[in-house]
Amino acid sequence: MKQFADLTEREILALAISSEEEDSRIYHGFAEGLAEPFPASAAVLSGMAEEEVRHRGRLFDLYREKFGDYLPLIRRHDVTGFIKRKPLWLTRPLGLEEVRKYVLGMEKEAARFYRKAAETTRDASIRELLISLAEEEDRHDSLAGQLTAKHLTERVKAGEADSERRAFVLQYVQPGLVGLMDGSVSTLAPLFAAAFATHKPFETFLVGLAASVGAGISMGFAEALSDDGSLSGRGSPWIRGGVCGLMTAVGGLGHTLPYLIPDFYVATVLAVAVVIVELGVISWVRHRFMDTPWLQATFQIAVGGALVFAAGILIGSA
């Protein structure tokens, strides 16, 4: 890798050209990823991409005038000092707010680069262009504002925010809630059956651990294989499966871990308290994200949990 201070004027221009081309392709990648769920924001990003193409054209015209047609291959990762960014534009589905923050960081970095480059060059025409581009990068906020005013009306913003919330619920909240409910409720019966049948905390812990891990693996694969997301819009099946499987295991382990306590009665009282907390969390999530009335959510979860809990105790005491 080269130090920025060691770059020649030719290399600085070549780096600027490749950076503008890369930024343009990133903007187009964001625009493509947001086109279906957020078409207005995609239009804004397409406008930004076109602006980067114009910057590249100005840079290349000056480069050709100064150094000819051959353009050496030099990119950001060949020079120390540039921020290493994850390829967010390849992620699907894209988060709208995350993209906006990423774009803001790109613009600030580009402006810093042009100012630093202008300080190192002796050629007046090159320095003038670099300073001009730095000022334009600073003004990109206003360009984004103009494009936003054109494409992102309040009605459109509200619609996009609703779409983003829906995507978040479908991708993370729904599979996580399903997993938490399954892990918290379905493992109650085998756990408390083992507890009241043996009165041995560690053996009960092993039963709960096996039930939680097994249920997590089963629910994870079931969710991932049930829907590839192409028609339902629920996003990556492996993300959904991972979230569902993890939350299933967490739901079961919550009331299993107390049985690491040697005293059976203390462990059981603590496990029951954990179950109450878990059912409360499930009710809150249903109320917060699924728009289920609070009393209805609490009643449904409490009845289901109580029935499974009673079944486990009855079976274990038989």
Provide the pLDDT for residue 313. 63
93-143 pLDDT, tens digit each: 777 777 877 887 788 888 888 888 888 888 888 889 888 888 888 776 655
User: In this structure, are 65 and 199 located in the same domain?
Assistant: no
**Between 17 and 148, the higher pLDDT residue:** 17
pTM metric for this prediction = 0.52
User: In this structure, are 144 and 196 located in the same domain?
Assistant: no
* Domain containing residue 11: CATH number: 1.20.1260.10
User: In this structure, are 144 and 194 located in the same domain?
Assistant: no
What is the rounded average pLDDT of the residues 292-304?
66
Q: Answer whether residue 163 is part of any domain.
A: no
- Among residues 152, 177, 195, which one ends one of the domains? 152
pLDDT over 70 for what percent of the chain? 78
Q: Is the Cβ–Cβ distance between 164 and 269 less than 8 Å? A: no
Q: What is the rounded distance in angstroms from the CA atom of residue 54 to the CA atom of residue 28?
A: 14
Q: How many domains does the chain have?
A: 2
58-84 pLDDT, tens digit each: 999 999 998 998 988 888 888 877 766
Q: Answer whether residue 160 is part of any domain.
A: no
Q: Cα dihedral sign for 279, 280, 282, 283?
A: positive
Residue range of the domain that includes 147: 4-152
User: In this structure, are 9 and 122 located in the same domain?
Assistant: yes
- Among residues 100, 117, 152, which one ends one of the domains? 152
Q: How many residues would you count in the chain?
A: 318
Q: Answer whether residue 157 is part of any domain.
A: no
User: In this structure, are 205 and 131 located in the same domain?
Assistant: no
Buried b / exposed e along 11-47 (16+ C-beta atoms within 10 A): bbbbbbbbbbbebbebbbbbbebbeebbebbbbbbbb
Phi first, then psi, for residue 21 (nearest 5°) are -65, -40
